[in-house]
Structures are given as C-alpha cells and as structure tokens.
C-alpha cells in the first residue's frame, strides 16, 4: 500500500474533464488498497504536497498545468515520483507546433502546417502571407491553438473569408496558432502503455461534421470502434508511427497518439501526442486498454508500478 496523491482539477479549461479523470483514478486506487488523497490543484499545491509527503503523485491533471511539464518539474524538485512522462517530453508534446516540427524533422508524417504567433500578424505583417498559405494547404484548413487539448478553439475554414474568424477563435486560447492541412478520413488514436502500443481506437462522430470537444466527452455522441476498422497492415503501421513519436519525445508510462488516415490515399499522419491522456469513462486510452485485456484498475495499477520503478539514468 502506498500513499498516493491524485492531482486533478486545476484552473485550465479542461478542469471538468480532469476532475472526472481524477475521481475515476481515485476510486480505482482505493480499490487497489492505496491510501488516496485527491488534490484539486491550486496555489497551495506545493504546500499540500510537502505536508502530505506522498509516496507517489498520480497526475490526472489535463490542460496547461498538467501537460506542459510544470507540475512534473515541481514533483522532481520535491522528490515525489509521478505517473507519466517527464518535463521534457510533456513540454514537447504540449506545444503542437514544436512537436510537429520535431516529427517532420525526424520523418514522422504529420499534416502540412504553418504556425504563427499573434505578434507575427501584429508586428510582421504575416496576414500578407495568408493567401500563399491558403494556396499551399488548400481548403478546408484546420486552424487550432498551438497549445491546448480537447479540440477547444479548433475551427475549420472552408473559404478564405473564414480564416480571420478562425484565427481569432484559436488566438482566444493561445498566443500561437497553427494552420494545418485538413485530412478527410478516419480519426484514430493509438494508446501506449509502457512502450507497448494498444489496439487502435477509431472515433466515429454520430452527428457532428467534426469530432469536436462536445462529442469527445459525451456518451452517445461518438461511437468508438476498437479495434479500428483498418487492415492489419494499416493498424500495424499506425501503431509503429505512434511508437516512433513516443520514442522521439521520450515519453514514459503512458500516452495517447492521435492520427488521421486519409480516406482517399490511405496515408497515415500523426496529429499530436497527449502526454496526460484522459482517463474518463469516455476516454480512448482506457477503452484501448480494456480491448487489450487490461481493465481500468489493472491499468491504474500498472501506471503506478511504472512510476514507482527507478528511472533509468
């Protein structure tokens, strides 16, 4: 039995989702016989941790606070082992622009993109470059904040006239945004636990033109197909790409890699890596684990085990 602090909530836009992940993890940990304290992360986090002196921190904190590497950095400083990836992997995964650059440099296919800061438009006249970008990416273009989860602020622009509005929406969430080539096709997720790729999950929205924030977290709005309706080769290729990305960023414990399969060309591309994937009852990673014969409690137990193991130097 260990004393485990479950970090959840926080102030990010994904607070609500995080609270759900956290609650579910707490319940599982209690069933596993651990002494569990849920911490709704706030300004007193360090104090709480110092006072509690947990054997381990389970990070169920989504959004900026949990995923950009800050909390991981703090936990290292306090000498508290924690679940999931370290600060460097988190920081790289959290920033989609950085992650996409790194993947492109390494030859991991990712949809073409251009990234801009607000300052580029304000101070460098980047707006002048929009027509060239629109020509290269072709409509529809996906516009998204560089950092942020759960598809918040992600917009489709089908015409040039829609681009400014989509950019403004994305800039509501971050000072940096990316314009990305839209891949029409299958929305796939490969979850990885301890360097092992789990069966591919395909998310099929029931009634939305786009797999948006709402559909992702609502039972009955999305049908999850696991294993995905892919050929064995495609499934193996998707898993391999996911593992390549996992290794590239130096992930640890678990992660979820989101991919697209182009319906026309069959090409597989990596969209992003989530270093603190959702663990809610509609989240994809637990579903994939379940398909692989790893129930939720077993999954949680395994993540705790991985975090407690001494980190290889």
* Site of interaction with another protein (CB under 8 A): 11, 13-17, 23-24, 27-28, 31, 118, 121-122, 127, 130, 152-153, 163-165, 167-173, 212-214, 217-220, 224, 226, 281-282, 286-287, 290-291, 295-297
Instruction: Say if residue 227 is preceded by a cis peptide, omega within 30 of 0.
Output: yes
Tokens of 64: 């900026």
Concatenating the DSSP letter of every residue in 2-59 gives -EEEEEE--SSTTHHHHHHHHHHHHHHHHHTT-EEEEEE-STTHHHHHHHH--SEEEE
Element housing 248 (H / E): helix 232-249
Shortest Å, Cβ 197 to another protein: 17
Q: What is the dihedral of CA 150, 155, 156, 158, to 10 degrees?
A: 180
Distance CA 85, CA 273 (A): 11
Which residue lies nearer to another protein by CB, 78 or 204?
Answer: 204
Which residue lies nearer to another protein by CB, 96 or 252?
Answer: 96
Q: Is 239 exposed, middle or buried (0-12, 13-18, 19+ CB in 10 A)?
A: buried
Shortest Å, Cβ 106 to another protein: 32
Shortest Å, Cβ 267 to another protein: 28
Shortest Å, Cβ 19 to another protein: 8
Which residue lies nearer to another protein by CB, 268 or 288?
Answer: 288
Spatial neighbors of 85 by CB under 8 A, at least 6 apart, are 72, 93, 249, 250, 251, 252, 253, 255, 275, 276
Which residue lies nearer to another protein by CB, 55 or 212?
Answer: 212
Which residue lies nearer to another protein by CB, 139 or 213?
Answer: 213
Catalytic site residues? 14, 150, 217, 256, 258, 272, 274, 278
Shortest Å, Cβ 237 to another protein: 24
Distance CA 209, CA 142 (A): 13
Q: What is the dihedral of CA 160, 163, 165, 171, to 10 degrees?
A: -170
């Amino acid at each position: 039995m260990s004393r485990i602090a479950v970090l959840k909530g926080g102030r990010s836009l994904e607070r609500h989702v995080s609270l759900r992940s956290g609650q579910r993890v707490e319940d599982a940990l209690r069933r596993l016989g651990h002494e569990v304290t849920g911490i709704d992360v706030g300004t007193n986090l360090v104090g709480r941790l110092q006072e509690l002196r947990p054997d381990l921190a389970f990070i169920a904190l989504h959004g900026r606070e949990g995923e950009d590497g800050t909390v991981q950095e703090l936990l290292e400083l306090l000498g508290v082992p924690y679940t999931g990836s370290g600060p460097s992997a988190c920081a790289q995964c959290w920033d989609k622009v950085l992650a996409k650059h790194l993947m492109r440099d390494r030859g991991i296919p990712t949809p073409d993109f251009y990234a801009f800061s607000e300052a580029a438009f304000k101070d460098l006249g980047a707006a002048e470059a929009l027509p060239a970008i629109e020509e290269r990416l072709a409509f529809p273009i996906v516009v998204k904040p560089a950092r942020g989860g759960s598809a918040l602020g992600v917009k489709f622009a089908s015409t040039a006239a829609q681009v400014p509005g989509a950019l403004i929406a994305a800039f509501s969430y971050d000072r940096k945004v990316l314009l990305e080539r839209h891949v029409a096709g299958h929305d796939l997720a490969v979850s990885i636990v301890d360097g092992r790729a789990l069966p591919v999950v395909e998310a099929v929205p029931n009634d939305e033109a786009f797999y948006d924030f709402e559909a992702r977290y609502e039972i009955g709005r999305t049908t999850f197909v696991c294993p995905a309706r892919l050929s064995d080769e495609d499934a193996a290729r998707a898993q391999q790409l996911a593992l390549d990305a996992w290794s590239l960023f130096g992930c640890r414990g678990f992660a979820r890699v989101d991919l697209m399969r182009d319906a026309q060309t069959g090409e597989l591309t990596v969209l992003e890596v989530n270093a603190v994937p959702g663990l809610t009852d509609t989240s994809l990673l637990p579903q994939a684990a379940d398909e692989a014969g790893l129930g939720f409690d077993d999954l949680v137990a395994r993540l705790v085990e991985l975090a407690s193991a001494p980190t290889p130097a």
